[in-house]
Amino acid sequence: MESLRVGVLLSGSGTNLQAILDAAGVEYSVVVVVSDKADAFGLQRARDAGVPAVHVDPRGYDGRDAFNEAIADVLRAHDAGLVCLAGFMRILAPNLVKAFENRILNIHPALLPAFPGGHAVRDALDWGVKITGTTVHLVDEEVDHGPIVLQRAVPVEAGDTEDSLHERIKEVEHVLYPEAIRLFAAGRIHVDGRRVRIG
Ligand code: GRF
């Protein structure tokens, strides 16, 4: 069986990308990494791994649709069969979501549907929850909304700061995201409405 070709979108440090790269093998390989930020450290991680690293500058395009189409073009040019959002800090436009329908995963640092949005770890801490975690889900046109593939819990500890809690969540993410990609690669993710059955 041919290995799954994965494209990764990110905006930042890319520790999840690193975990995905480190776990790549017969099931999947990372074929391109795309960032909206030229100085995202994740692009450097890609180069170090010998993976094409592409900066798509949103300022170079006339609006969100054109920017998203440019990303879709890069992903198509590398024949990506799965797209993984790994700290990509922009909301995907419908044209990109449709181009890779049910083939885009995101990882979110909370147990969705609790604490969607850009500061999930802080929001969970401020709410006073005792357990939070991380979610891998399929991406649809709404933010942090698509069908849930995998979730794992992370207890909040007394004295946790946003950073300390996020660090522990990321440790779990680094195991969970490659696991979800391997399930996708094996054709074991079956979507039925909001529900995902792992076959
Ligand atoms: C992760 O916590 C992920 O859940 C969120 O953004 C963060 C990215 O971190 N979507 P990194 O760049 O992979 O270190």
Task: Write the residue with the smallest CA distance to atom 5 of ligand 1.
Answer: 87
Closest CA relative to residue 132, chosen from 162, 102, 89: 162
pTM for this model (two decimals): 0.97
Q: Which fold has domain 1-101?
A: Rossmann fold (3.40.50)
pLDDT at 1: 64
pLDDT at 109: 98
User: Quick check: CB of 144 below 6 Å from ligand 1?
Assistant: no
Closest CA relative to residue 166, chosen from 124, 114, 105: 124
Average pLDDT per block of 10 residues along the chain, 199 residues long: 93 98 98 98 98 98 98 98 98 98 98 98 98 98 97 98 98 98 98 97
Q: Residue length, the chain?
A: 199
Adjacent-strand bridge partners of 137: 106, 148
**CATH code linked to domain 107-199:** 3.40.50.170
pLDDT at 163: 98
Q: Do domains 1-101 and 107-199 have the same CATH topology?
A: yes
Is 108 part of the annotated catalytic residue set? Answer: yes
User: Quick check: CB of 170 below 6 Å from ligand 1?
Assistant: yes
What atom in ligand 1 is closest to the CA of residue 11?
A: 12
Distance between Cα 122 and ligand 1 center (Å): 14
Domain limits, the chain:
1-101, 107-199
Distances (CA, A) of 162 to 88, 125, 134, 135, 170: 19, 7, 14, 18, 12
